[in-house]
Structure 1
Amino acid sequence: MSTTIPSDADLLAQARALGAAALVARQSMVTAESCSGGWIAKILTDVAGSSEWFEAGMVAYSYEAKQGLLGVRPETLMRHGAVSEETALEMVSGALIHSGATLAVAVTGIAGPGGGTPGKPVGTVWIAWKRRGGYPRARRFHFDGDREAVRRQTVAAALDGLAELLA
């Protein structure tokens, strides 16, 4: 099975459709990003008029940033690590707490080329989504390819999940 790596045009088309749906639904978004380094916020704000539905983007790469910006508990990071379901869930909840947005996405993973372990190989990414007032959900992905490919697939999956929240 070959992996399709989304192009810039693919990601922008996803972002445009998501923005249009958010505008109609009167919803706003916040991103909490680690391995994607702000790419989700970047592609969303590439859409003209995104200020109508995009609230904020937070890049929290270090443990300290995850704790300070998003309220991830030190115990969570020590027990489960940054790349875990527990951390992704706390990141997405923290993003909503620290913003006025109604929808949030959080990503944490290992884009490579290094940093992987047998239990968490390169390409392991946790993505969490949450609607204000709702329960968060998270999903683990295993993306193939180099650092760029892993990050592109992460952005596409994050946008897909936000679209599902709006559906």
Structure 2
Amino acid sequence: MRADAARNLDSVLETAALLLREDPNASIAAIATRAGVDRRTVYRRFVTREALVAAIHRAKLDACWEVVDDARLDEAPVTVALHRYAEGIIGVSRRWPIDLGRLPDDAESAPRLRELLGRLDAFMDRAAREGVVRPGLPDRWARSLLVHLTNLAAHEMPELTPAKGADAVVESLLDGIGT
């Protein structure tokens, strides 16, 4: 793909993610206009609106996987990995402000999301085994709390940088369920 075509694709996907958060019924024409491209450019790449939405979800999922890999949840000290994850995911959530829980019926993305959430659950289990969070919480409780806190920092506290948001997430999570 040519560099300008790749830039246009990124611009369309990011613009669509932002615009669809503001207006879930935004048209392809509105997305194209806001992205600064012709609507035919969007339709050449995405035959339907659903294909565009699926591509946005895949882009966010890819970015989330990169954050999880970079955080080194399996080997970094728990608090370090937790902060890396929170800081990275706040940035991703701001760039791609869509809810992965509303993934389109996509045979590729749904299993990848389940695997990603499984990795977060395994990380939180590790945190409990290592005494960083209290053991015995209901299944998925710590991971769900982490997801909600990062979403709070990303979307309801835009004045926080991702680093400051991660500080708040880690402090809130560990003081709330820490040992």
Q: TM-score, normalised by structure 1?
A: 0.30
Task: Name whichever structure is richer in strand by fraction.
Answer: 1
Tell which structure's C-alpha radius of gyration is larger. 2
Task: Name whichever structure is richer in helix by fraction.
Answer: 2
Q: TM-score, normalised by structure 2?
A: 0.28
